[in-house]
Amino acid sequence: MSEQDQKPAHRTARRRSLVGMIGPGLLLAATGVGAGDLATGTFVGGLLGTAVLWAVVVGAAMKFVVTEGLARWQIATGETLIEGVAARAGCWALWLFLPYLLLWSFFVGSALMSATGATLHAMVPVFAEAKTGKIVFGAAASIVGLVLVWLGGYRLFEDVMRICIGVMFATVVLTAILLWPGTGAVLEGLFVPRIPEAGGEGVTWTLALIGGIGGTLTVLCYGYWLREEGRDAPEDLASCRVDLFTGYAMTAIFGIAMVIIGSNVNIEGSGAQLLVTLSERLDLVMGAPGKWLFLAGTFGAVFSSLLGVWQSVPYLFADSWALLNGTRDTDTRLDTSSKPSRGFLVAIATLPMLGLFWRFRDVQMFYAVIGAWLFPILAVTLLIFNGRRAWVGQHFANRPVTVVALFVVLVFFSYLGLRPYLG
């Protein structure tokens, strides 16, 4: 029996279990924590110290607000946000979305391959040049991810991701505990918001930390994981909120750990090489166990993010393509073995390999610029769509506090996207 034909009773049992309740949120957390989060968190920690730990929490909270709105829309209407936009705004919006999706996929794919390759080279330095190791290991990791997603289906993906999440979370948090700067400093950084001057760069990097926590386009994939888990009833909203709170709490803890680690180790550099340099510094500070502990956590983070993007983003392409061609049955889950889904999976796992020959910093910069503009669009969409009680009903409509929170997301990410042009 295929996953598509599984009995509703099985799905109900999964929903009631702890694993089933928090599964999609953990997938979202693992997919959202990638190379950018690692590099940014570490660098900001080294530059600003623990004073900006509050920014990690704010960033995770903003992403929670948006993703919770996506879940409310889907449970209320039975439609993903992509389906809702196509039905109510028109297919022209999807024609605008597809080029964005393709561009985002290329740069995030390149960034994840580069980070995974650099980490594996640091663990197994069999090549004379780090660049060669990054290219070879990055391409190999991408192919492994492709095979796992292609052959394994959603359940194998879920199981592998849990292993990666466990390794990532345990090792990085343990490293932060070993480098603990003091409970007083951590509590002050969390609850007394301030931004060190840092030669005039304090505000810039604090904003980058807030905006970079928790992923970008991958939040749209949460709805498809909900369908895989069979969450479509009104009573499932409470589980979704617990699920998302757990996922973003883990994201915040991970980000806090990276800032703490960075605050204890003086390093310079950028991008994927920053992570390798950090591991070498940890070797000096904590010895070889510290280095390998951190590298294991880093690999768990970047490979789980790669695997999550490879598995989830083809949903978005296949859904958009089917809606544009009039072949989408919104009452059923997507056929992940369809040609559009499989074709996009192969494309995202191979074409971004070209970016392995570029500097990681440049790839990450383009990815950050592209990702910055997604959240203002999502915030506006959710303000309108979830604000229409005729569409979502009284119970699922935006509350005043939700409207304020989404407006804050809209203003912040709009400013983040416009800031480079404001001088």
> What is the reported pLDDT for 124?
87
pLDDT confidence bin for 325, thresholds 50/70/90: confident
> What is the reported pLDDT for 421?
65
> What is the reported pLDDT for 405?
94
Residue 316 has pLDDT above 60, yes or no: yes
> What is the reported pLDDT for 77?
92
Interhelix angle 81-88/374-385, rounded to 10 degrees, is 70
Residue 3 has pLDDT above 50, yes or no: no
Question: What span, in angstroms and rounded, lies between the C-alpha atoms of 251 and 216?
Answer: 13
pLDDT above 70 as % of the chain: 84
Query: What value does the mean pLDDT take over residues 72-92?
Result: 90
Residue 200 has pLDDT above 60, yes or no: yes
Residue 387 has pLDDT above 90, yes or no: yes
Question: What span, in angstroms and rounded, lies between the C-alpha atoms of 189 and 211?
Answer: 18
Give residue 98's Cα distance to chain centre. Answer: 19
Query: What value does the mean pLDDT take over residues 79-83?
Result: 89
Cut 0.75: pTM above it: yes
pLDDT confidence bin for 226, thresholds 50/70/90: confident
From the CA atom positions of the chain, what is the Rg in Å?
Answer: 21
Task: For tokens 């950090």, name the residue.
Answer: 278
pLDDT above 90 as % of the chain: 26
Amino acid at 303: F
Task: For tokens 């694993």, name the residue.
Answer: 19
Residue 269 has pLDDT above 70, yes or no: no
**Residues in Cβ contact with 190 at an 8 Å cutoff, skipping those fewer than 6 apart:** 53, 54, 57, 256
Q: How many domains does the chain have?
A: 1
CATH number, domain containing residue 401: 1.20.1740.10
Structural domain that includes position 359: 3-421
| Average pLDDT in the chain | 82
Provide the terminal-to-terminal Cα distance of the chain, rounded to the nearest Å. 59
Q: Per-residue pLDDT tens for 330-373?
A: 555 666 778 888 999 999 999 999 888 877 666 665 666 666 67
Give residue 11's Cα distance to chain centre. Answer: 25
